[in-house]
Chains A and B, each alone.
Chain A
Amino acid sequence: MTRLIPDWEIRITNFGLGYILLCLVVAIAATNTGNNGLYLVLAAMLAAMVVSGMLSRRNVRSVRCQIETVGEVVATRPAWLKLRFENQLSGTAQALFFLHEALPGPLWIDPLKPGETRELIVEGTFPRRGVHQTADAGLLSRFPLGLFRKYRKAALAREIVVYPLPLASGVPEVPTDEAPGGRPHSLARGGGSDIRTLRDFSPGDDPRDLHWKQSARMRRLIVREREAERDRVLFLAIDNAFTWPPDAAALERFEQTIARCAGQALLLLSRGGEVGLHARGVKVAARSGRAQRLRILDALARLEPVPKESAEDFPAMRRGDVRWFVS
């Protein structure tokens, strides 16, 4: 049997349908025979439906569920989810299952006492990259009699960004400084050996950068401002324009491209390079370091295919920058 994370709030179960059918059968039998024993059973069955409705309504609606991720979330890799349940009911909320697409099956939640708040950390796996603005998750319960399934969506503490799983592939060669285009001057300040400019000393400047001769001439403290050490900048590029509507194979190739792009970006960044990302309508400026890694993964997680007809051009590049189309 296949069960789904529901897009409804209440649905009758097969058992519930059978129960209603049985009620009809008992009603016919009672009416035809006049047997008050059967009338008692029928009355009890109908009363059970009323009681069931009231109890289940209170049971599910009273529990608030909030989800947030702990750490980075990468597609198809285990990730930690922090679940927070709060019972706002004056009675115990029970027979609750937590459903989430990242979990392999329904997660049993032990009964929540009145007013109780409970936090759980569970391991889940998101099947694909992307951004979850709303929770594809919630609480499901058949309580008390299993006649109906009631579902309440969970809330996200913040959006969940599922990064693509980086795939290893060939790393692009960065052209040497001597290659056409030459090595441009870095626009950024940094700790390199080349001097970018001379300027007045300001608090926080390294005293070792004081330009004593010029300071003597100017009769005030002058420091050397150095250029940042950098290689030639590489932009990984992905063409996300498709003939619309894209077919499944094309989308699958697109996902593979993104995964390879992620792998290449991470590898280059791990070597200390400056890497940026270009796609149609998307630009991540080239930088290095851990923050850049997150920026690129975030952009790749959000990258969506666009129709070729309305697609923007790739962002413009500076002289000397290199764009590498990932395929």
Chain B
Amino acid sequence: MVRFLKGRRELPEGLRRAYLLVLAPAAIVAPLPLFWTDGANRLALVAYEIGIALLWWRARVGRPVRLSDAAQNVLGLAYIGWLGLETATLRLGLLRSVSHLLLFTAMAKLASLKRPSEARLALLILFLLTLASASSSTHVSSLAYFVVMGWLAFRTLSRVAVLADFDQAPPERVLASVPTSGVSVVAVAGGVVCAVPLFFALPRLHGPFVVAPFRVDDAFSKAMTADRVDLESFGAAKRSDRVILRLSARPTLPAADGLRLREAVFTEYQDGSWLRDPWRGSRREPSAFRGDAAVASRPGSWVVAADLNVFGQGFLFLPYGTTAIRVEKGRASELPEGVMQVSSRGTVHYEADVLREPARGKGRAVILRADVPPEVQKYAIELTSDLSDPTLIYRRIESHLLKDFVYTLEPPRAKGDPITHFLLRSKAGHCEYFASAAAMMLTARGIPARLVTGSYGGEEGFLSDSIVVRGENLHAWVEADLDGTGFQVLDPTPPAGVPPAMRAFSLMSRLVAFGREIEFFYDRRILGFDAGDQIGAVESLRESVGDATGALAAWRQTAKDFLSPRTTTTLLLAAAAGMLALLLARRIGARPSPATQAYLILRRLLGRRRGILPQSMPPAEVARLFGREVPPGARDAAEVVEIYTASAFGGMEPTPERLRQLKERIARLRKLA
């Protein structure tokens, strides 16, 4: 059966106002990430936000804006001209041009809503804006954006769905009542619960589109990603709080020893910059890094697992004493001096088998004396001319740097060679200055030395026993062969400049750490998630299932061994007794009220005289029949029934006094019956 309802043409003003009120909040929030991702001109974004806010305000005060068709046409034509200029001359990039077009279209569409279909079109444009924002944003705050947009989208779509069935302006209460806050919370929470597995299960055919959490404009990248590293940029890298890696160890890593992670070795110094030349020498597969499963079980050894945000050339941070390494994806290559490099992009997970032994640097490359600036050579000789023992020479250098130099992350800018400037003039610098100067001076005195960069220390993870290494943990030190036993680790940086091995945490810092955990998770598991991770997850699942099956089988065997027939019988009897006790307790718990009990007694007494009473017999009939059977008890029976009906059907529980009388009546009735 069909029934035609009223047709619909142009939106009446009230309904247009309702659509604007519904769409405007989402329109305001949708392009916000473009502010930070540089996906649109900020001026254009500000103009858009002001425009939408104005439309919203006008709708709120009951005067929704409605551009005439002529104005729309003029604006559209003008924008086409601008678009041509933008793409042909300004060349802002595709994302920016598209974003600008979407911003303009969204605003124009909202300012000229005529039909419900146009409201849906505006919704589509807002969705595309959201898509542009989501796909261009790589910051962890995108997660907050997704949640907020999820909530706003649910709210907006619910209300648009309601408005679709209105021909006229809906009453004010309609939009306010849909959706209820409880349903919104349930929907967003349910959406998150469903979306998380879907996100990880959706098939990946390509590597992640965006992987590096390190922005191009991070000074960090300049210091840590290039093979040519100048000293000045290292301080900026140390000021960054970006997460470099997170590592955990089995057994727990001894913080004081294990937190010095070696990343690169520098032996060439030219024009004020350290060079690392990974191509020097033959590049070969890491023979020294073959997996050795037995290592972890040896006393004094442990397995370190790390998630590293790979940047630049993909050098791994490895503890001293690493004997084997396993990389989750990509290929690891061993470079001279024990440096490892991976071919992966984004974030890489690797495990290193580490022997606890005195820290000794691998390889034989050292700084050549010819690379040491003459001023530094002269300075070193003046400082240590009276000493010949390498250890004492180093002690003198270390003491000198400690007493006469200042540690700072912002050293005065050098004119000429930075190390010379550091030693002779500024006497202020950060760890790389101290380490470089010490290495140079040791070299000047003929002691084999080199500069090593990596990290030192870290922070406890908030939710796990892992250690998070951030930019401020970057460090530089010296490896020198003082006594012919190999390259020892020498750290000439004053204590103020050595990153703390482990931090003491306040509540605030724990919250900050929690934020970093989320950030790391976002970088590692969301932004950089790819097919390899999916395969890894499936394998982990398979292993977990296998482990669980094995554990179950072992448990069954144990149970079989433990449970003799006698024990089994005892246990079954105990379980049966427990069940019985539970049933009894439940029965006692469900005991009827005194009034009902009294009525049941009355029924039972009557039943004894008249046979089985039908369940459907009403209480009044019970009282009447009992009165007929036992006339002296008629009054008591009637009273019992009255109390029962008042209790069972009227919700009026008898007073203690009436209860007492009830008991007496029942006792009398028993005697009479």
Contacts and interface: CB of A to CB of B under 8 A. Distances in A.
A261 interface: no
A39 B138 CA distance: 13
Given A106-B165, A142-B165, A51 B187 contact: yes
Contacts of A38: 131, 134-135, 209
Interface in B1-55: 1-8
A105 B5 contact: yes
B254 interface: no
B135 A37 contact: yes
Contacts of A142: 161-162, 164-165
A20 B345 CA distance: 33
B199 A40 contact: yes
Interface residues of A, number: 55
Interface stretch (B167-175, B226-234, B358-366, B650-658): B167-175
Nearest to B527: A36
Contacts, number: 184
Contact of A92 (B182, B205, B526): B182
A20 to B, nearest CB: 13
Contacts of A222: none
A211 to B, nearest CB: 48
Interface string A130-158: 00000010001011111000000000000
A44 interface: yes
B173 A110 contact: yes
A54 interface: yes
B157 interface: yes
B57 interface: no
A54 B191 CA distance: 11
A46 interface: yes
Nearest to B127: A22
B369 to A, nearest CB: 50
B142 interface: yes
B4 A36 contact: no
Q: Which of B150, B171, B177 has the most CB of A within 10 A?
A: B177
A104 B127 CA distance: 35
A47 interface: yes
Interface stretch (A65-73, A93-101, A280-288, A317-325): A93-101
A218 interface: no
A95 B178 contact: yes
B5 A3 contact: yes
B206 A32 contact: yes
Nearest to B525: A36
Contacts of A42: 198, 202
B460 interface: no
A80 to B, nearest CB: 19
A36 B212 CA distance: 13
Contact of A111 (B134, B137, B178): B178
A94 B165 contact: no
Nearest to B1: A136
A47 to B, nearest CB: 4
A104 B138 CA distance: 52
Interface residues of B, number: 67
Interface in A7-55: 7, 13, 15, 18, 22, 26-27, 30-44, 46-48, 50-51, 54-55
A18 B124 contact: yes
B158 interface: yes
B530 A34 contact: yes
B647 interface: no
A41 B131 CA distance: 7
A34 B1 contact: no
Given A38-B131, A38-B134, A146-B160, A30 B202 contact: yes
A105 B183 contact: no
A181 interface: no
Interface string B526-547: 1111100000000000000000
A2 interface: yes
Contact of A47 (B8, B131, B194, B207): B194
B164 A146 contact: yes
B180 A36 contact: no
* Among A42, A43, A55, residue most surrounded by chain B Cβ atoms (within 10 Å): A43
Given A7-B2, A15-B120, A34 B154 contact: no
B172 to A, nearest CB: 12
Interface in B93-143: 120, 124, 127, 130-131, 134-138, 142
A4 B180 CA distance: 28
B199 A43 contact: yes
B266 to A, nearest CB: 35
A37, A44, A92, A146 — most chain B CB neighbours (10 Å): A37
Given A5-B3, A55-B187, A146 B157 contact: yes
A89 to B, nearest CB: 11
A144 B195 contact: no
A51 B131 contact: no
A91 interface: yes
A44 B127 CA distance: 12
Interface of B: 1-8, 120, 124, 127, 130-131, 134-138, 142, 146, 150, 153-154, 157-158, 160-162, 164-167, 170-171, 173-174, 177-180, 182-183, 186-187, 190-196, 198-199, 202-210, 526-530
23 contacts: A5-B2, A5-B5, A7-B1, A7-B2, A15-B161, A30-B202, A32-B205, A32-B206, A34-B207, A35-B208, A37-B136, A37-B210, A38-B134, A39-B199, A47-B192, A51-B191, A100-B3, A108-B174, A143-B162, A144-B158, A145-B154, A146-B160, A146-B161
Given A39-B202, A99-B5, 10 more contacts: A2-B5, A38-B134, A40-B134, A42-B198, A94-B177, A95-B161, A105-B5, A106-B165, A108-B166, A136-B3
Interface of A: 1-5, 7, 13, 15, 18, 22, 26-27, 30-44, 46-48, 50-51, 54-55, 91-92, 94-95, 97, 99-101, 104-106, 108, 110-111, 136, 140, 142-146
